[in-house]
Amino acid sequence: QKEVEQNSGPLSVPEGAIASLNCTYSDRVSQSFFWYRQYSGKSPELIMSIYSNGDKEDGRFTAQLNKASQYVSLLIRDSQPSDSATYLCADPPNFGNEKLTFGTGTRLTIIP
């Protein structure tokens, strides 16, 4: 049974600062991870996917995957009020397992 643990927050960060979100996961064979952003009352939206060890940067977002430590993180630089949302990490389907396994989510608030 896959499990994903996420620092549950809530997390408050001043505008312009760096927000750091973290997850650990149980499945050693997991090859990749997804980060979703979910605004209140809306559906999860995929914002980052990372498929190999190391860092992946996309604009203000950087995802880091450390397979040895079974750890994945998301950094948001120059945080904006529009970044205020719940962020969910997810272990994607693989090897015949069809489901996304989500963490509990971290509610992030950017303080103007």
**Residues at the contact surface with other proteins, assessed by CB under 8 A:** 4, 6, 34, 41-46, 49, 88, 90, 92-93, 97-105
C-alpha–C-alpha distance, residues 18 and 28, integer Å: 29
Fill in the amino acid letter for 16.
G
C-alpha distances (whole Å) from 38 to each of 20, 55, 91 are 16, 23, 16
Q: Which residues pair with 106 in a beta bridge?
A: 87
Closer CB to other proteins, residue 10 or residue 16?
A: 10
Closer CB to other proteins, residue 8 or residue 80?
A: 8
Q: How far is the CB of 77 from other proteins (least distance, A)?
A: 23
Closer CB to other proteins, residue 76 or residue 88?
A: 88
